[in-house]
């Protein structure tokens, strides 16, 4: 079973690591990795392959920057050529990026089954490009791996019930495996002179928060006001850095320490030892919960609704947290094994997938 995996952005590298390693341990599978280059900065790309022990991708398309339409179109054409050459039995995509949409579309137009990891997530905000991507890919997919019962229900509400499997969360697999390694290898806190529990960790990169000088000022000021006097340590995403330069404003200011993007092990260390996390990222909302750190999401909605209902996360438009409980639906750290077993069962019940 030849599976082409399409990745392109930091969260996808993290999710791909446990599943790719599990596929590599099964003789039934051969994985062909395609890196679109959506995150082209070395600190957002190369370092993750190195730290996560992922083999170098078979293809690196180098497609990053530009408008959503230009990026997605260029990826679509390039991925299609690879799929025609490689003739995989299925294409595996992750999450909700332009790389996800391009990989899903290229496969579907060639009648290649699509496997979508993190299916069924919904923010119900169609102004977000990510929302458009995840909805379209779900409707193109043959196998849909959902992290929670909420995501399963979201698909059911849209008439999608075939091929849907609730499997837990791959990022929990990765966090369990890599947190002890980060504790051994990361010297970030020492290098930055940070005391555990005496600072806040933050990320900022969504279009809504970087589209204007006012948007950036609003987000940064909010974090400073809510940090309870603690310094906000902010690894600056390339998009955010370029936006700040374009609008002529500085992110570095009293109460905020702007630093270069971090590798995953350093990011684990930063988040795990923070007193609070501020983010507009989907993944870091969950990672904060995995580390037992309260989070404030710098958005008016979230696709990870269970982090809010369980009291570990709140939207910045609210002032209080719900009572705190555990989130059992993220699984036991064996989601990758469940996914591989499900794919194998699907092959056995659909032998025509091996005819390519």
The Cα–Cα gap between 30 and 20 comes to 10
User: So what's the pLDDT on residue 52?
Assistant: 74
184-330 topology per CATH: Rossmann fold (3.40.50)
In the structure, what pLDDT confidence band is assigned to residue 44 with cuts at 50, 70 and 90?
A: very low
Do the domains 184-330 and 2-169+332-355 match in fold? yes
CA 211-214-217 angle, to 5 degrees, is 105
Q: With contact defined as beta carbons under 8 Å apart, do 114 and 142 qualify?
A: yes
Q: Chain-wide mean pLDDT for the chain?
A: 93
Distance of CA 347 to the CA centre of its chain: 27
Phi, psi of 116 (to 5 degrees): -110, 115
Whether 205 sits among the annotated catalytic residues: the reply is yes
pLDDT reported for residue 354? 64
Radius of gyration, CA atoms only, the chain: 20
Mean pLDDT of 244-272: 95
Contact (Cβ atoms closer than 8 angstroms) between residue 24 and residue 49 = no
Q: What are phi and psi of 182, to 5 degrees?
A: -60, -40
Determine the pLDDT at residue 263: 87
Task: Domain 2-169+332-355: give its CATH code.
Answer: 3.40.50.2000
Spatial contact of 14 and 52, defined as CB atoms under 8 Å apart? yes
Strand order in the sheet with 164-166: 59-60, 30-35, 2-7, 90-94, 114-117, 143-146, 164-166
The model's pLDDT over 207-232, given as tens digits with 9 standing for 90+, comes to 899 999 999 999 999 999 999 999 99
Angle ∠(93,96,99) on CA atoms, nearest 5: 60
**Rounded (5°) CA angle 130-34-302:** 20
What ranges do the domains of the chain cover? 2-169+332-355, 184-330
Q: What is the pLDDT of residue 102?
A: 97
| Strands of 313-315's sheet in order across | 256-259, 231-235, 199-202, 276-279, 295-297, 313-315
Q: How far, in Å, CA of 120 to CA of 10, rounded?
A: 20
| SS3 (DSSP) at 79 | helix
Q: What is the pLDDT of residues 155-195, one digit of tens each?
A: 999 999 999 999 999 999 999 999 999 999 999 999 999 99
Among 205, 237, 291, 348, the active-site one is 205
Residue 124's CB: how many other CB atoms inside 10 A? 10
Write out pLDDT tens, residues 79-133: 999 999 999 999 999 999 999 999 999 999 999 999 999 999 999 999 889 999 9
Instruction: Of 263, 206, 254, 208, give the one whose Cα is nearest residue 235.
Output: 263
In degrees, rounded to 5, the angle at the alpha carbon of residue 98 between the alpha carbons of residues 96 and 103 is 90
At 68 the pLDDT is 87
């Amino acid at each position: 079973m030849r599976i082409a995996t399409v990745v392109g952005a930091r969260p996808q590298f993290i999710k791909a690591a446990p599943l790719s390693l599990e596929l590599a341990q099964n003789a039934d599978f051969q994985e062909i990795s395609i890196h679109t280059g959506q995150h082209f900065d070395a600190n957002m790309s190369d370092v993750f392959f190195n730290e996560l022990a992922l083999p170098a991708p078979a293809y690196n398309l180098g497609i990053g920057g530009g408008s959503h339409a230009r990026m997605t179109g260029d990826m679509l054409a390039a991925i299609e050529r690879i799929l025609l050459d490689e003739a995989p039995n299925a294409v595996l995509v992750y999450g909700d990026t332009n790389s996800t949409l391009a990989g899903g579309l290229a496969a579907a137009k060639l009648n290649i089954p699509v496997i979508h990891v993190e299916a069924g997530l919904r923010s119900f905000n169609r102004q977000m490009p990510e929302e458009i991507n995840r909805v379209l890919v779900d409707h193109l997919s043959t196998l849909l791996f959902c992290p929670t019962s909420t995501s399963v229900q979201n698909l059911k509400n849209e008439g999608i019930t075939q091929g849907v499997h609730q499997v837990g969360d791959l990022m929990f697999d990765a966090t369990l495996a890599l947190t002890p390694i980060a504790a051994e290898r990361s010297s970030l806190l020492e290098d930055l002179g940070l005391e555990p529990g005496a600072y806040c960790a933050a990320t900022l990169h969504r279009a809504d928060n970087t589209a204007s000088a006012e948007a950036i000022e609003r987000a940064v000021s909010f974090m400073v006001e809510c940090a309870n006097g603690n310094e906000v340590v902010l690894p600056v995403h390339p998009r955010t850095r370029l936006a700040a330069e374009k609008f002529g404003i500085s992110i570095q200011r009293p109460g905020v320490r702007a630093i270069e993007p971090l590798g995953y092990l350093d990011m684990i260390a930063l988040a795990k030892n923070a007193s609070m996390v501020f983010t507009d990222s989907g993944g870091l909302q969950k990672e904060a919960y995995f580390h037992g750190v309260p989070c404030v999401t710098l958005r008016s909605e979230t696709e990870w609704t269970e982090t809010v209902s369980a009291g570990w996360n709140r939207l910045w438009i609210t002032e209080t947290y719900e009572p705190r409980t555990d989130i059992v639906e993220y699984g036991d750290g064996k989601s990758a094994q469940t996914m591989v077993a499900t794919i194998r069962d699907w092959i056995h019940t659909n032998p025509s997938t091996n005819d390519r």
